[in-house]
Amino acid sequence: MVGFIVNPVAGNGKGKRVWERIEPAVNGLGAVFSVRETSGEGDAEKLAKELIQKEGVNKIIAIGGDGTVHGVLNGIYQSGQACKFGLVPAGSGNDFARAHGIVNDPSEAVERILSEKAERRIDLMLMNGRIAANSIGAGFDAQVAKATDAAQYKAWLNRYGLGGLAYVISVLRELRNFKPGHLSLQVDGQTIDKSGVWLVTAANIPNYGGGMKICPMAVADDGLTDICVVSNASRGELLRAFLKIYTGTHVTHPKVSFFRGSQVTIETAVPLMVHADGELMGETPVQVKMLPGQQVIFV
């Protein structure tokens, strides 16, 4: 049985519009399905778990952005049961969709999922008991995620289909406020100490923040997370490195280092804000463990 989880406010109302557009076609297929609309924080997760445990759903199709993907995958994980996952992209950043080559056209996306055109088994990241599908970041990027969430300009830009630009504006604003600090990073038993750290990101896919290629070499089914650390950079250097993130050419920047592993601990001298898939998740310290091949997704 198929379950749809619709986030009506994703992409500032795109979630609702996309569902209204595809609903007649889904109805026309004559398949049995359940639909749930999210009403706020934590709801996608709760609804996914309920659909699986109470209604016997074994395929969930989310209509929303990365926050909705994050919620639904956590619900599937908590259900303790196998449930395949498909996404009809309707968010602002849509990084999960971009990384996995999920088509943008809603009708085509839903048709591909329902006909089980192609599937892929991907790794997930487990952080302090929760799942992340895209990335987990501490420091500047979490601060940016928080600012973007609260921003008026996100709604305005979404109206013009420029949701990704909201993150750029937040970066420029937060650059002035953030204070870099000390990081102790453990990657598969190896300890790396760095001072003046702006951000540390453990990624399962190359992109975040609406297309920034923070870890261009990240592969979602290699059982490993790619870690990017930006440290000891002046604000000007950070900005220059940041501009290169869109093409992934920051990898050769002297203030940027990369690591790769399956078990990671992030500890900082001063607690830093943490995000998982762009959703705020408290503060450091955090432990990240890869769950290889944990989830089947439709692409």
Ligand X SMILES: Nc1ncnc2c1ncn2[C@@H]1O[C@H](COP(=O)(O)OP(=O)(O)OP(=O)(O)O)[C@@H](O)[C@H]1O
By CB under 6 A, residue 66 contacts ligand X: yes
Per CB under 6 A, the list member of 75, 91, 180, 181 interacting with ligand X is: 91
Number of residues forming the site for ligand X (CB under 6 A)? 21
- The residue count for the chain: 299
Nearer to ligand X, 7 or 284 (CB): 7
Q: Least separation, in Å, of the C-beta of 236 and ligand X? A: 28
Per CB under 6 A, the list member of 41, 105, 116, 188 interacting with ligand X is: 41
Q: Least separation, in Å, of the C-beta of 97 and ligand X? A: 8
Q: How far is CA 11 from CA 7, 17, 31, in A?
A: 9, 10, 28
Nearer to ligand X, 16 or 194 (CB): 16
Stretch that binds ligand X, among 34-42, 127-135, 262-270, 286-294 (CB under 6 A): 34-42
Helix 106-114, helix 14-28: angle, nearest 10: 50
Within a 13 Å sphere around the CA of 231, how many CA atoms are in the beta-carbon half? 20
By CB under 6 A, residue 65 contacts ligand X: yes
By CB under 6 A, residue 38 contacts ligand X: yes
Nearer to ligand X, 72 or 228 (CB): 72
**Measured distance CA(245)–CA(233) in Å, rounded:** 15
**Measured distance CA(228)–CA(111) in Å, rounded:** 36
By CB under 6 A, residue 106 contacts ligand X: no
The tokens for 10 are 């994703």
Q: What are phi and psi of 43, to 5 degrees?
A: -75, -40
CB 210 within 8 A of CB 261: no
Nearer to ligand X, 8 or 206 (CB): 8
Subset of residues 257 to 286 that bind ligand X, contact rule: CB under 6 A: 278-279
